[in-house]
Structure 1
Amino acid sequence: MEQILNVEGLCRDYGKGAVTHAVDHVDFSVEKGEFVGIMGPSGSGKTTLLNCISTIDTPTAGHIWVEGRDITGLKQKELSRFRRERLGFVFQDCNLLDTLTAFENIALALTIRKTPPQKVESLVKETARLLEITDCLDKYPYQMSGGQQQRTAAARAIVTRPALILADEPTGALDSKAARLLLERFEAMNELCEATILMVTHDAFTASYCHRILFLRDGAVFAQLERGDQNRRDFFRRIIGVVSELGGDQSDVL
Structure 2
Amino acid sequence: MDTILTVSQLKKVYGGRGSRTTALDGLSFSVSAGEFTGIMGASGSGKTTLLNCISTIDRPTSGVITVEGTEVTALRGKALSRFRRERLGFIFQDCNLLDTLTGFENIALALTILGAPAGEVEQRVRASAALLGLEKVLDKYPYQMSGGEQQRVAAARAIVGRPALVLADEPTGALDSKSAGQLLRQLDQLNREQGTTILMVTHDAFTASWCRRILFIQDGVLFRELRRGDQDRRTFFAQILGVVGALGGDAADVW
Pairwise TM-score range, normalised by the shorter structure: over 0.9
User: Is 1:137 matched with 2:135?
Assistant: no
Q: TM-score, normalised by structure 2?
A: 0.97
**Shift, 1:77, TM fit:** 1.0
Contact (CA 8 Å) 2:102, 2:140: kept in 1 or not? Answer: yes
Query: What do residues 46-73 of structure 1 show as CA deviations (whole Å, max 9, x unaligned)?
Result: 0000000000000000000000110100
Unmatched segments (≥5 aa) in structure 2: none
Q: 1: CA distance between counterparts of 2:227 and 2:100?
A: 42
Which contiguous aligned blocks of 4+ residues in structure 1 show a shift greater than 2 angstroms?
none
**Shift, 1:249, TM fit:** 3.7
Task: For 1:20-31, list aligned pairs within 5 A.
Answer: 20-31=21-32
Q: 2: CA distance between counterparts of 1:24 and 1:139?
A: 45
Task: For 1:1-150, list aligned pairs within 5 A.
Answer: 1-17=1-17, 18-150=19-151
Query: What do residues 166-200 of structure 1 show as CA deviations (whole Å, max 9, x unaligned)?
Result: 00000000000000000000011111211000000
Amino acid at match of 1:4: I
Query: What do residues 103-145 of structure 1 show as CA deviations (whole Å, max 9, x unaligned)?
Result: 0000000111111111100101111110001000000000000
Q: TM-score, normalised by structure 1?
A: 0.98
What SS does the corresponding residue of 2:125 show, helix, strand or coil?
Answer: helix
Q: 2: CA distance between counterparts of 1:22 and 1:134?
A: 42
TM-align CA RMSD = 1.0
Amino acid at match of 1:225: L
Count of aligned residue pairs for this structure pair: 252
Amino acid at match of 1:59: P
What SS does the corresponding residue of 2:210 show, helix, strand or coil?
Answer: coil
Contact (CA 8 Å) 2:46, 2:219: kept in 1 or not? Answer: yes
Unmatched segments (≥5 aa) in structure 1: none
Q: What residue number does 1:229 align with?
A: 230
Q: 1: CA distance between counterparts of 2:92 and 2:76?
A: 25
**Shift, 1:16, TM fit:** 1.2
Contact (CA 8 Å) 2:41, 2:249: kept in 1 or not? Answer: no
